[in-house]
């Protein structure tokens, strides 16, 4: 019985081998042909097939594994080729000529008149002279002394007491300034402080009364206007243009 089973298995294996190798094809027994020509015959309109580039960053929109892409129709391919090209974004234009606000001052009445004459040739509306009162100034003053010898002796005494001072100048010669201040109150506080250093003969005077003044203002100076500002240099009494505050 065991011998019969072995014989049957041998015959079955031999039969399967003959069938799988096509040896029984003349008898009508053979596996279905799967060679490449049969696959080509099964294709439907292969000329419409398109290979598309996939953006790797957009994996979420990729087709799942195992899915089959549907070939594009000829009309779809034509529409894709005829789609308009997105307009090119024009390059940013160069920045416009930048302008800045400049000013100088303060000028007194006489200086302001000289500036008006010098600026008359500049474009209309490019400059203004804005009223800016010149504040008064107060001084802790010592003098007026009778002669240079007395002045020099007093200066030596102030140096010994380590008191800062300088020549008062102008109509206050021969005299010494021990400090200049924007208000009378500030000058009087300094006079009191100097008394603790042994200064006894100084006093507070008004060196300059409040006076009308003007500030030169050029609100929009561009390259074209900047090239014309040389006409103002000699009329600005040594002052310089600076950014508007």
Find residue 216's DSSP bridge partners. 104, 129
Average pLDDT over residues 107-121: 94
Residue 211 DSSP one-character state: B
Q: How many CB atoms lie within 10 A of CB 179?
A: 20
Fold for domain 137-208?
A: Alpha-Beta Plaits (3.30.70)
The sign one gets for the Cα dihedral 179, 182, 183, 185 is negative
Helix (H, G, I), strand (E, B) or coil at 150: helix
If pLDDT is split at 50, 70 and 90, which confidence band does 12 have?
Answer: confident
> Which helix or strand (DSSP H or E) is residue 10 part of?
helix 2-20
Dump pLDDT digits (tens) for 67-76: 444 545 544 5
Residue 21 class from Cβ within 10 Å (0-12 exposed, 13-18 middle, 19+ buried)?
A: exposed
Name which residue leads in pLDDT, 1 or 67. Answer: 1
pLDDT for 30: 67
Q: Tell me, yes or no, if the two domains 100-133+212-243 and 137-208 fold the same way.
A: yes
* Integer Cα distance of 238 and 240 in angstroms: 7
pLDDT for 78: 45
- What is the gyration radius of the CA atoms in the chain, in angstroms? 52
Name which residue leads in pLDDT, 167 or 40. Answer: 167
Average pLDDT over residues 23-47: 66
- Residues shown for the chain: 245
Residue 86 DSSP one-character state: P
Q: Is 57's pLDDT higher than 70?
A: no
pLDDT for 17: 79
Q: Looking at domain 100-133+212-243, which of 3.30.70.980, 3.40.50.300, 3.30.70.120, 3.40.190.100 is its CATH number?
A: 3.30.70.120
H-type alpha helices, 48-147: 74-82, 109-119
Residue spans of the domains in the chain: they are 100-133+212-243, 137-208
Residue 132 DSSP one-character state: -
């Amino acid at each position: 019985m065991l011998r019969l089973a072995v014989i049957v298995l041998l015959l079955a294996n031999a039969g399967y081998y003959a069938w799988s190798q096509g040896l029984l094809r003349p008898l009508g027994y053979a596996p279905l042909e799967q060679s490449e020509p049969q696959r080509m015959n099964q294709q439907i309109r292969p000329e419409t097939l398109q290979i598309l580039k996939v953006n790797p960053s957009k994996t979420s929109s990729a087709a799942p594994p195992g899915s089959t892409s549907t070939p594009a129709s000829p009309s779809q391919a034509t529409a894709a080729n005829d789609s308009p090209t997105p307009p090119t974004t024009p390059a940013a234009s160069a920045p416009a000529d930048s302008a800045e606000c400049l000013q100088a001052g303060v000028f007194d009445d006489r200086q302001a008149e000289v500036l008006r004459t010098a600026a008359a040739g500049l474009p209309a509306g490019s400059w203004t002279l804005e009223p800016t009162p010149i504040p008064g100034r107060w001084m802790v003053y010592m003098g007026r002394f009778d002669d240079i010898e007395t002045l020099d002796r007093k200066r030596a005494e102030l140096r010994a007491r380590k008191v800062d001072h300088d020549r008062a100048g102008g109509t206050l010669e021969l005299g010494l300034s021990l400090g200049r201040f924007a208000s009378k109150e500030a000058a009087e506080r300094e006079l009191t402080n100097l008394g603790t250093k042994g200064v006894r003969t100084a006093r507070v005077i008004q060196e300059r009364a409040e006076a009308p003044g003007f500030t030169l203002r050029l609100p929009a100076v561009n390259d074209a206007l900047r090239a014309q500002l040389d006409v103002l240099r000699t009329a600005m009494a040594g002052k310089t243009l600076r950014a508007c505050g």
